[in-house]
Amino acid sequence: MDGQEHKVPKDIRCRVRGLSGLSIRREDGSTRFVQWTGCLLLVAGILCGCSKNRHDVVRIPVESGMKELPCVAVFVDDYFAANSDVPNVIVAVWANGTVIHSKDMLEGGAPYHTAHVAADRLEQFFQALEEDRLCRANYYKAFFGFDTAYTGVFVARSGSKTVLLSEHELYERSPRCIATQDGVVALEGRSREQATKSWSREYRSFRTKWDSVRREVDKLVRDATHSGSEACVAFEYKDMAIRW
């Protein structure tokens, strides 16, 4: 992935100039045909980016057949996968303290397990994020490729919504790659510390916020009371508009 031809992060209106067709060429030389649905979403993103009141429509996992959104969700989404309508949930937490989490805290997915977190502990979680300047107002930021899987983080608190989308957790499992504001690139002999020097100020801030949320989510799951039993639950996506 070269970070130029098929990297389309949030500021899509500024970076889409190099995309000249409907066929996306991958690093291995293969190509992927982009369906018209994906193209329409791309155009919609460009048009929305030109609006003074910016907004985005994001997919958030909900329990199948239920309308209530979780107040915290971490999940893996791959729009172009064969089963793209089924989210791989890593963690989902509801306002009543119900916790459903996957055994796989990186890729998510079944089997799921149930737990419960006390109300005061959930409040501590939100307060910790507020101290890191999150959950105070709507915040949306995304860094992932047009045809790549990504991890999503969603936090809803007192009318505000935080949405972070990034591919770095999945791709940085490889010791030879690192994510940047321009896409996933090869280290080519550099250390990760050296490679991060090329990060923009915006991307560095994004990664700091990301690490903060993920750290607090992991602590929340550890502090929950676990039932030890598997959860008979299925998830689906619900579209949600966020203005920021």
Give a yes or no: residue 71 inside a domain. yes
* pLDDT tens-place string over residues 82-101: 677 889 999 999 999 999 99
Give a yes or no: residue 21 inside a domain. no
The pLDDT score that the predictor gives to residue 66 is: 87
If one counts the domains in the chain, the total is 1
pTM of the model: 0.76
Give a yes or no: residue 149 inside a domain. yes
Give a yes or no: residue 41 inside a domain. no
Give a yes or no: residue 75 inside a domain. yes
* pLDDT tens-place string over residues 193-224: 999 999 999 999 999 999 999 999 999 999 99
Q: What residues have CB less than 8 Å from 72, skipping those under 6 apart?
A: 91, 92, 93, 125, 154, 155, 156, 217, 220
More confident residue, 137 or 62: 62
Give a yes or no: residue 36 inside a domain. no
Q: Which sign does the torsion angle of CA 198, 184, 168, 67 carry?
A: positive
Give a yes or no: residue 19 inside a domain. no
Pairwise CA distance, residues 205 & 181, whole Å: 11
Helices (H), the chain: 12-15, 36-49, 119-131, 168-171, 192-195, 201-223
Domain that holds residue 213: 55-243
155, 162 in Cβ contact below 8 A?
yes
Give a yes or no: residue 22 inside a domain. no
The pLDDT score that the predictor gives to residue 53 is: 52
